[in-house]
Amino acid sequence: MPGGNEPRSYYVGMDVGTGSVRAALVDQRGTLLAFADQPINQWEPQFNHHEQSSEDIWAACCVVSKKVVQGVNLHQIRGLGFDATCSLVVLDKQFRPLPVNPEGDSRRNIIMWLDHRAVSQVHRINETKHSVLQYVGGVMSVEMQAPKLLWLKENLRETCWDKAGHFFDLPDFLSWKATGVTARSLCSLVCKWTYSAEKGWDDSFWKMVGLEDLVTDNYSKIGNQVLPPGASLGSGLTPEAAKDLGLPPGIAVAASLIDAHAGGLGVIGADVKGHGLACEGQPVTSRLAVICGTSSCHMGISKNPIFVPGVWGPYFSAMVPGFWLNEGGQSVTGKLIDHMVQGHAAFPELQAKATARGQSVYAYLNSHLDLIKKAQPVGFLTVDLHVWPDFHGNRSPLADLTLKGMVTGLKLSQDLDDLAILYLATVQAIAFGTRLIIEAMESAGHSISTLFLCGGLSKNPLFVQMHADITGLPVVLSQEVESVLVGAAVLGACASGDFASVQDSDGRLLPLIWWKVQSRLEMASERLAVPRTSAPVVAAAQATALPSSPSPGLPSLQPHHPSFIQVSAFELCDLG
């Protein structure tokens, strides 16, 4: 492992979320030196149809990559890793974008992960009760790839299905675009495509659901070469991709991870010694990583497979090698908060006041709640207003895409106080959803004592505090707020050969080894710098008592004493 006085090596991590592409430059000690982001386009041509463009996403990758390596000696860049949302990218036999819409707009060649067009297809797939469904929580989600493929075959046969040469999960599209290698990551195929790490593809599933043509082709269109995340691809970065990204040709490029899995890898093994947390000294299987962005993903690992009804998995080696993964999820969380806030009559007033104060609307709302709560705990502000958060169906644990959202307790007034309270009730409802997922995982055999949050929503202190209050579990945040990007950079570091794998021989995860030796944080440029805490912060435990259950079907809560802890740095952690 490099270190000490050796010349610096750099790795580039690239994270493609739903709303933007982010890149980071990380050195061999795990220090995040530069960060850049760039928004990406989304189209919603019909209700429940969500599309993107692979060319637009690649162009955004090129912008952020060039920004983070500005001023750096390119010869010291040794590896590149990608993570991304699991949207479906469609290319023709010459690798050109193919339209996934009846309008024939070939810019829009991605069916996004949150697209719910394939409802009839997923019902029929679930009616087969095929044994592969056991490994996705018992019920396949409309957000997975098989129903979307069937939709394309049944609805766009001539314009798309017959012409298609390659169906990629977005993380695998990116690694192909960078290297020309069509090998898929074990992570994406296992989690979204029914591939088994132990048994490979199951021909009988694809034949039973009406996609036998994929089998006849020996899976060449969806992947017949599968590599573990972090494995080096082909001859590395092609000259063409190198020119696009502003990186040196030939540097190592890794097999990718899904975004939630990169975040999970980045945070799950943190050493929290000294904070008196229940998980100190317990195996890593007592932790739940929650990656909260547009959606929230709840990643729990185990040594043996655990079958949790309505929770995806168990997936072998899909996040931490050698461990089984269960992935709970809420399809819209950040998107739901934005929807509720932006759709409210008082939003223009909120925006004007937040801008005048130089704050984000969330920071403004949080301080407004502090003002109006007076002496009572903030949670009591929603005694009469409750939200059911399944505006886009329920991913886990109810696994019911037909569910809808609900608000009860509305009044005729629509002022800023009402908006702030609705925002709070939405955040609480999302936290109750996390609690339901944890309860389902525990009923099936998981034992979870601590939450590790990352993603855009973890920058919102109210969201973090409500998760601690409502689950009754302590929440740990890493000092490095861009934990998902650290996970992506880990992949590049592994592919470069500088580190043998994402784990060392004792099973310790690379981010932990990095942070053990990290002594200080540096920034390449103030302009690109990500704000972070400069010192460890251990917030006082807040005994925020909550009103009774805000949503039908949820148990009522007793007051409890949760804690919210921010650790300063990661250290070595025994995964055993």
Which residues of this protein are in contact with ligand 5RP, per CB under 6 A? Answer: 17-18, 85-86, 113, 143, 258-260, 293-295, 297, 327, 329
**Is residue 457 within the footprint of ligand ADP (CB under 6 A)?**
yes
Report the C-alpha gap between 547 and 386 in whole angstroms. Answer: 10
Report the residue number, 18 or 394, with the smaller CB distance to ligand ADP: 18
Shortest Å, Cβ 132 to ligand ADP: 28
Q: Choose the one of ligand 5RP, ligand ADP, none that binds residue 113, judging by a C-beta under 5 to 8 angstroms depending on kind.
A: ligand 5RP
Task: Based on DSSP, count helices (H) and strands (E) in the chain, helices before strands.
Answer: 16, 23
Contact present, 325 and 319 (Cβ < 8 Å): yes
Collect all residues with Cβ–Cβ distance below 8 Å to 146 and sequence separation of at least 6: 121, 125, 140, 193, 194, 205, 206, 209, 211
Shortest Å, Cβ 367 to ligand ADP: 13
Distances (CA, A) of 220 to 233, 238, 341, 423, 437: 17, 22, 45, 47, 36
Q: Choose the one of ligand ADP, ligand 5RP, none that binds residue 297, judging by a C-beta under 5 to 8 angstroms depending on kind.
A: ligand 5RP
Phi-psi region of 302 (alpha: psi -120 to 50; beta: other; left: phi over 0): beta
DSSP E strands, 93-149: 110-111
**Is residue 266 within the footprint of ligand ADP (CB under 6 A)?**
no
Closest-CA residue to 227 (of 265, 197, 264): 197
* Count of other CB atoms within 10 angstroms of residue 207: 15
Shortest Å, Cβ 140 to ligand 5RP: 13
**Is residue 337 within the footprint of ligand ADP (CB under 6 A)?**
yes
Shortest Å, Cβ 402 to ligand ADP: 24
Q: Choose the one of ligand 5RP, ligand ADP, none that binds residue 29, judging by a C-beta under 5 to 8 angstroms depending on kind.
A: none
Report the C-alpha gap between 137 and 326 in whole angstroms. Answer: 9
**Is residue 562 within the footprint of ligand ADP (CB under 6 A)?**
no
Scanning residues 354 to 393, which ones bind ligand ADP (CB under 6 A)? 360, 362
Distance spanning both ends of the chain, measured CA to CA: 22
Contact present, 97 and 91 (Cβ < 8 Å): yes
Closest-CA residue to 98 (of 22, 149, 137): 149
Shortest Å, Cβ 496 to ligand 5RP: 25
Distances (CA, A) of 139 to 386, 401, 445, 454: 29, 11, 19, 27
- Please identify, among the stretches 182-190, 333-341, 395-403, 493-501, the one whose residues bind ligand ADP according to the rule CB under 6 A: 333-341
Contact present, 235 and 253 (Cβ < 8 Å): no
Distances (CA, A) of 539 to 100, 116, 211, 354: 48, 40, 53, 25
Shortest Å, Cβ 265 to ligand 5RP: 13
Report the residue number, 15 or 244, with the smaller CB distance to ligand 5RP: 15
Do the bridges between strand 296-302 and strand 324-330 make them parallel or antiparallel, or are there none, so unpaired? antiparallel
Shortest Å, Cβ 427 to ligand ADP: 10
Shortest Å, Cβ 171 to ligand 5RP: 9
Report the residue number, 297 or 301, with the smaller CB distance to ligand 5RP: 297
Q: Choose the one of ligand 5RP, ligand ADP, none that binds residue 337, judging by a C-beta under 5 to 8 angstroms depending on kind.
A: ligand ADP
Report the residue number, 297 or 361, with the smaller CB distance to ligand 5RP: 297
Report the residue number, 87 or 294, with the smaller CB distance to ligand ADP: 294
Shortest Å, Cβ 484 to ligand ADP: 7
Report the residue number, 183 or 297, with the smaller CB distance to ligand ADP: 297
**Is residue 19 within the footprint of ligand ADP (CB under 6 A)?**
yes
- Alpha carbon 206 to its chain's center: 27
**Is residue 455 within the footprint of ligand ADP (CB under 6 A)?**
yes
The DSSP bridge partners found for residue 287 are 450
Indicate the helix (H) or strand (E) that contains 430: helix 416-444
Shortest Å, Cβ 163 to ligand 5RP: 26
Q: Return the structure tokens found at 441.
A: 């995982």
Report the C-alpha gap between 434 and 136 in whole angstroms. Answer: 18
Report the C-alpha gap between 393 and 379 in whole angstroms. Answer: 25
Do the bridges between strand 475-477 and strand 450-454 make them parallel or antiparallel, or are there none, so unpaired? parallel
Scanning residues 274 to 303, which ones bind ligand ADP (CB under 6 A)? 293-294
- Please identify, among the stretches 14-22, 114-122, 237-245, 265-273, the one whose residues bind ligand ADP according to the rule CB under 6 A: 14-22
**Is residue 17 within the footprint of ligand ADP (CB under 6 A)?**
yes
Shortest Å, Cβ 85 to ligand ADP: 7
Report the C-alpha gap between 281 and 327 in whole angstroms. Answer: 24
Shortest Å, Cβ 519 to ligand ADP: 27
Q: Choose the one of ligand ADP, ligand 5RP, none that binds residue 459, judging by a C-beta under 5 to 8 angstroms depending on kind.
A: ligand ADP
**Is residue 228 within the footprint of ligand ADP (CB under 6 A)?**
no
Report the residue number, 89 or 385, with the smaller CB distance to ligand 5RP: 89
Report the residue number, 81 or 562, with the smaller CB distance to ligand 5RP: 81
Contact present, 518 and 551 (Cβ < 8 Å): no
Q: Choose the one of ligand ADP, ligand 5RP, none that binds residue 258, judging by a C-beta under 5 to 8 angstroms depending on kind.
A: ligand 5RP
**Is residue 456 within the footprint of ligand ADP (CB under 6 A)?**
yes
Report the residue number, 27 or 115, with the smaller CB distance to ligand 5RP: 115
Dihedral sign, Cα of residue 464, residue 467, residue 473, residue 478: negative
Shortest Å, Cβ 54 to ligand ADP: 16
Footprint of ligand ADP on this chain (CB under 6 A)? 17-20, 293-294, 334-335, 337-338, 360, 362, 455-457, 459-460
